Structure 1
Amino acid sequence: MDMAFYSGWESLLRTLIVGVLAYGVLVTFLRISGNRTLSKMNAFDLIVTVALGSTLATVLLSKDVALAEGALALGLLISLQFVITWLSARVSWVKRLVTGEPLMLLYRGKFLTASLRRARVTKDEVRSAVRSSGLASLEAAQAVVLETDGSLSVVKQEEGGTGSSLNGVRGPH
């Protein structure tokens, strides 16, 4: 048979056994590391997730990488993420370095053009976020904020018109 379709039962058996074991190791490590590893992702978390997937695929498909080496690589990536997230919860400059800061894109119905440009977000995307939040107009929004995970949050105007607290958000203040 052609080697592109089948390279023997030994190769298939290795992929099956190593795949099940590597998957088990990854799930165990993720459970040990806690819920933060699987939380809503910022750019740093996305990079770690892609690296974990790539490492798992390499362990599964490469005969040159032993299961123990793959387990060590997976453990190392998860441990590094744990250390970085632990530090970012305690050291403000690490948090800013890893996750960035939320960025205000609209304030009291007015677009913040410089922030839109810096974030590479269009006015139409902001309008869509406002509509998705159930507001009929931009003026009904106190602010629209680009969060560190890439989502857009809409802060509605309060009844008294005093506005909501937007602590920690870079904007027109």
Structure 2
Amino acid sequence: MLFDSWFGLLRVLVVGTLAYVALVTILRISGKRTLTKLSAFDLVVTVALGSILATVLLSRSVALAEGILAMALLVFLQFAITWLSVRSPRFAYLMKSEPTLIVHQGQFLDRALRAQRITRDEVMEALRGSGVPDVAQALAVVLEPDGSISVIKSADRNASFTLSSVRDP
């Protein structure tokens, strides 16, 4: 249970090192987009890559070449999806969510909060993190597609913020 064989340990060291080098190489070739802030789609690909890496490391029934091919396939599919998203607004609409306005001119938008499953406490935490102690001092709070919360302060009224840039459910 605690130790199977020296060969098993050696296999993990060799295959782990080679799989890690292959994964880093694949990610570098795929470009910066693969390593940026995660959308829901990017998160799924990242978790799947980790799962493949763990399977290659710990399962003797999966060859290193199969694992590398599986990782390359996922990164290629992510590249293809993002390539299509950049070139086709309709495809981009299907693949990505839009930002959602959850506070407007100091007022919570309860329908939007419920739809996005965000509590007022979570919004207040984001406000405090942005140096805004009271919701009344927020021109807008937006739930971004990556799950982060952006705060536009009332003092920033001269900023070029338009409601057309976010979805109001």
More helix by share: 2
Residue of structure 2 in register with 1:12 after alignment: 9
What secondary structure is seen at the aligned counterpart in 2 of 1:101?
A: coil
Shift of 1:167: 4.2
Q: Percent identity?
A: 54
Q: Return closer, same or farther for 1:79/1:163 CA change in 2, 3 Å cut-off.
A: closer
What secondary structure is seen at the aligned counterpart in 2 of 1:29?
A: helix
Render the CA deviation track for 1:17-74: whole Å, top value 9, x for unaligned: 1110000000000000011101111111110000000000000111111111001000
The amino acid across from 1:139 in the alignment is A
Using the alignment, how far apart are the partners of 2:96 and 2:167 within structure 1?
A: 14
Contact 2:126 2:151 in 1 (8 A): yes
Matched, 1:157 2:154: yes
Contact 1:105 1:116 in 2 (8 A): yes
Using the alignment, how far apart are the partners of 2:22 and 2:63 within structure 1?
A: 13
Render the CA deviation track for 1:80-122: whole Å, top value 9, x for unaligned: 0111111112222222222211100000011111100000001
Written as runs of structure 1 = structure 2, the 5 A alignment for 1:45-84 is 45-84=42-81
Name the stretch that deviates more: 32-41 or 124-133.
124-133
Structure 1: runs of 5+ lacking an equivalent: none
TM-score where L is the length of structure 2: 0.93
Contact 1:157 1:163 in 2 (8 A): no
Matched, 1:128 2:125: yes
Using the alignment, how far apart are the partners of 1:163 and 1:87 within structure 2?
A: 29
Q: Return closer, same or farther for 1:162/1:62 CA change in 2, 3 Å cut-off.
A: closer
The amino acid across from 2:8 in the alignment is S
Using the alignment, how far apart are the partners of 1:21 and 1:160 within structure 2?
A: 53
What secondary structure is seen at the aligned counterpart in 1 of 2:165?
A: coil
The amino acid across from 2:69 in the alignment is L
Residue of structure 2 in register with 1:111 after alignment: 108
Using the alignment, how far apart are the partners of 2:71 and 2:29 within structure 1?
A: 12
Structure 2: runs of 5+ lacking an equivalent: none
Shift of 1:158: 4.5
Q: Return closer, same or farther for 1:130/1:81 CA change in 2, 3 Å cut-off.
A: same
The amino acid across from 1:26 in the alignment is L
| Alignment partner of 1:31 out of 28, 33, 43 | 28
